[in-house]
Each structure stands twice: as C-alpha cells, then as structure tokens.
Structure 1
Amino acid sequence: MIMSVKRAVFIDVDGTLTDDISGWEKIHLRFDLEDEMNKNVERFFAGEIDYDQWALDDVAMWKGKSYLEFQEALKNPKLRKGAIEGVSKLKNAGFDVILVSGGLDEMVKHVALSVNADRFYSNEIGHTNGILDGSLTIKVGNSKSDVIKKIAKENEYNLDVCGAIGDNVNDIGMFGQVGYAVAINTENEEVIKAANEVVYTQNFADAAQKVIEKL
C-alpha cells in the first residue's frame, strides 16, 4: 500500500494574510499608548531587547485594561485580497494550512476562521475577571523555526515537501525549515535572501500558487 506524504504550508498573518496594521498596534492605539509603543519598537531594532521581551514589555503596559475592549479592537481584521482563495487553492492541492503568527490569539483566530485554515499558533493574552493581567503565554516568539519543527513532529509532516509564506524577519526561521519558501511584498534583504522566491503582489493567491507550482 502506498502511503501518502503529509504536507503543510505554514503562513504568517500580519502583512501576509492581512492588509492591515498588526494586532499589537491596534491595541496600543486603542489604549492611547502610541508613544510607549514606539519606544519599544526603537529598543527592539536597536538590539536592546529580543522579540519575546518586546512582546512581554508591550503586554505589561496593558495591565488593568478591559479585556472586552481588547477583543473589540481585534475584531474584523482586514484580509489581503485573495486570502480566502489562496488558502482554498492550497487545501485543494493537498496541503494542510497552518497559520503561525507572533501576533495575538484573538486576532489570529478571526483570520483562521475567515480563511478556513486548519490550525493556528499565536500568543495568548492573560486576563482575570474581564481585566488584562499583564501576562502573556508566548507560543510563537523570537524564531518560528522551533515552532515549525514541533508542529511537523506532532503531525508527521515531511518538511522537505512543505511550504511557507511570510514577509518579515521573524519568518526567516520558518523559511529555513521547509522545502519552498515564498516571501511576499518585502524589501528586507535578510528576508529576500532566506526565501526561495519573492513575489510583489496585492493578491495572496499569487503567492499560494508559487508554492503549489514548486511542491
């Protein structure tokens, strides 16, 4: 009996499946913390803190805020054109579609449901009695590499025939684990070097098609 090979495409969310500001930025703007947000951005890009610490420092600023207001701010993310079509194409080609995001569960969940992804992995905000408690469970942090390897092991995916689609430096680790990686709409030289192919398009389905053609 011939056993079928299990394949997946791992997809970033912010800037890849969405054409919108990140969930992090939405929350900072909702709570009028734009100046504090920009300071943490500067610290990260200056190399003073890593991605995990950046996330934890951001969440600490939200302590005491309303969880309901947090949820409201993350509703109805703006999908990139072709997001639903592209995911459907990948699934019809025999791939599981897995969203891997350094963003927040509440927003990523909405995107996963909207595009009919098979699973999603992102970061979980802590809240108690309707109030944000300043904690964060980091499931997708500094590098997506370890996350991809863990998912592959648990689901028996052959990473040599898996794909990835992303747009930013935190996708580089993910790109290095799969057989074919497509970067979308990036100008970052590190991301360009890490990807097998770069596409510049406003239609996510174009990037999905590249993975299908190569794998």
Structure 2
Amino acid sequence: MVRLIAFDLEGTLVKSISSWVELHKKFGTWEKGKEYAELFFSGEIDYVKWAELDSSLWKGHTRDEILEWANSVEYMDGAEELIEFLRKNDFKIAILSSGLMCLAGRIARELGVDYVYANELIFDENGVVTGKVNPLVDFKSKGVILRELKEELKPKLTVAVGDGYNDISMFREADVAIAINPHEGVEGDHNVESLREVKEIIAGLI
C-alpha cells in the first residue's frame, strides 16, 4: 500500500523564505529583483521570463558561492523526525519547490526523499552561472506535478503540506491539505504552526 506526501520546501521544511530573494540579497541584486517580481505579479511577464531575468543578474557568480548559501540553510524544527515517521509508514515523499535545486537537492539527499522538483540554474563547464535557468516548477505547476505522481503511484492517500499561494494548486490535488504558518489567503483542510502538528494529523489519518 502506497501513500504519497508532497512538501513545499522553503518556509515548510527549511528556514528559508525564498532561494531567489536570499541569493539576491547575497549578491546585492535585490533592488532589481524586486522590480522583476512586480512585473510578474502585475501580469506583465510570465514565470519563465521572471526566472530568466532573475538568474541573469547572477551571471559570473559561481556554483560554490551558491552552495555556500544553500548549505547554510537550517531545517525547521521537527523536519527530520517527521520524514523518518513518514518513511516508516509507507509514504513516498516528494519535495515540490519553486525555489532552486541547489537547496532542494541537498535537502532531498539528506532526508532520503523519493522525488524532488525545483528550478535549476544552469552553469558552464567551470561552474559559473550562465544566466539561464531550467524552470521546472513554475508558479502554478505544483498541482500538475502532484497529479502526475498520483497517476504513477496510485496512492491510497495523498497529503500536501505547504505555506504559500503557489501551494494551493497541489492542495487541490491532495486528499488532505495541511497549511503550515500559511500566508494570507492560504488555507488547508488543517492549518498548523509546526511540523510536529503535521505529524500528529498524519498519525490520525493512518
């Protein structure tokens, strides 16, 4: 019997709000990055264009600089304990992040997650940012990804855990949606403040 759980990453499993914002701040490009965000949210550019504009600001920086940031990000309290509990209870675990694979990949490896989807910066052969990006997870596609996983795995139970507006599409695909410290306007079937509460809810479901 397979069960499936999909997690947002930043603000849900780790103490990072946004890979994009934090790298802008690290590299001193936040003022321009804020302008690009406003263009996206006003509907003037699509997500792919937004991701490309953001990453173009980091051309010339290195993979090592980005990994220095990614490796410094800490887990939310209870994250490792929750994942261990899920693995013991036949859950396939997915991370669906509109952040960056440099962080999502590290967390997936450390936690032993089954599936990880995130946006990938493209580096040249010397490990330097090219300014291009592979936008695998756009602002609305988490629901599409979760639906495809459901079709593949045919789980008995599907749970989604997230905090932001772009998690709503995967909430709609799940049997049970759990919003953790949700942003304004975001609601799940359960609204919680910690990953320990998430664990309690799932224990009640199984």
Normalized against structure 2, the TM-score is what? 0.90
The aligned residue for residue 71 of structure 1 is 67
The aligned residue for residue 88 of structure 1 is 84
Contact (CA 8 Å) 1:104, 1:123: kept in 2 or not? yes
The aligned residue for residue 20 of structure 1 is 16
Separation of aligned partners in 2, 1:211 and 1:49: 39
* Structure 2 gap segments, 5+ residues each: none
Shift of 1:134: 1.1
Contact (CA 8 Å) 1:181, 1:211: kept in 2 or not? no
Shift of 1:11: 0.4
The aligned residue for residue 141 of structure 1 is 138
The aligned residue for residue 211 of structure 1 is 202
Shift of 1:74: 1.6
Can you list the C-alpha shifts for 1:12-67, whole angstroms capped at 9, x where unaligned? 00100012232212211221111112212222333333433322221121122222
In structure 2, relative to structure 1, the CA distance for the partners of 1:184 and 1:80 (3 Å cut) is same
The aligned residue for residue 128 of structure 2 is 131
Shift of 1:162: 0.7
Shift of 1:9: 0.3
Q: CA RMSD in A?
A: 1.8
Separation of aligned partners in 1, 2:137 and 2:88: 27
Of the candidates 144, 148, 151, which is equivalent to residue 149 of structure 2? 151
Q: How many residues align?
A: 204
Tell me the amino acid that sits aligned with residue 31 of structure 1. Answer: F
Q: Helix, strand or coil for the counterpart of 1:58?
A: helix
The aligned residue for residue 110 of structure 1 is 106
The aligned residue for residue 162 of structure 2 is 166
Separation of aligned partners in 1, 2:49 and 2:191: 30
Q: Helix, strand or coil for the counterpart of 2:97?
A: strand
Identity %: 29
Separation of aligned partners in 2, 1:41 and 1:18: 22
Tell me the amino acid that sits aligned with residue 93 of structure 1. Answer: N
2:43 matches 1:43 = no
Normalized against structure 1, the TM-score is what? 0.87
In structure 2, relative to structure 1, the CA distance for the partners of 1:19 and 1:73 (3 Å cut) is closer
Contact (CA 8 Å) 2:164, 2:183: kept in 1 or not? no
* Structure 1 gap segments, 5+ residues each: none
Tell me the amino acid that sits aligned with residue 213 of structure 1. Answer: G
